[in-house]
Amino acid sequence: MNINSLLHLLHHHLLQVPDGVTVLMSASRSSYSKQDRVFQFSMEFPVPSYLVALVAGELQHVDVGPRSVLLPALVSEYPGTAAS
């Protein structure tokens, strides 16, 4: 067995959060239940464990392109933008 294959993983997460909390993850969001506040994420191909990221909180964003957003901490660095 190749040692590199031991350092990569697939991951699936089911997270229930309080009202007002949003979850982002370095994986595809496969489902979301607004009523139950449940986020489900899946990573369908192996990635190194150091590339797994998760953030949860009262997040706001500014759309800056078709696939790009800024989170509030960065918004102040870009004049002319305002959190939505």
| β-bridge partners, 31 | 40
* Cβ atoms of residues 27 and 61 within 8 Å: no
- Decide: pTM greater than 0.75: no
Q: Which residues contact 78 (CB under 8 A, 6 or more apart)?
A: 64, 70
Q: Per residue in 41-72, pLDDT tens?
A: 988 888 887 888 888 887 777 777 887 777 66
Number of neighbouring beta carbons within 10 Å of residue 43: 17
pLDDT digits (tens, 9 = 90+) for 21-46: 888 888 888 888 888 899 999 888 88
Domain boundaries, given as residue ranges, for the chain: 3-59
Check whether 76 has a pLDDT greater than 60: no
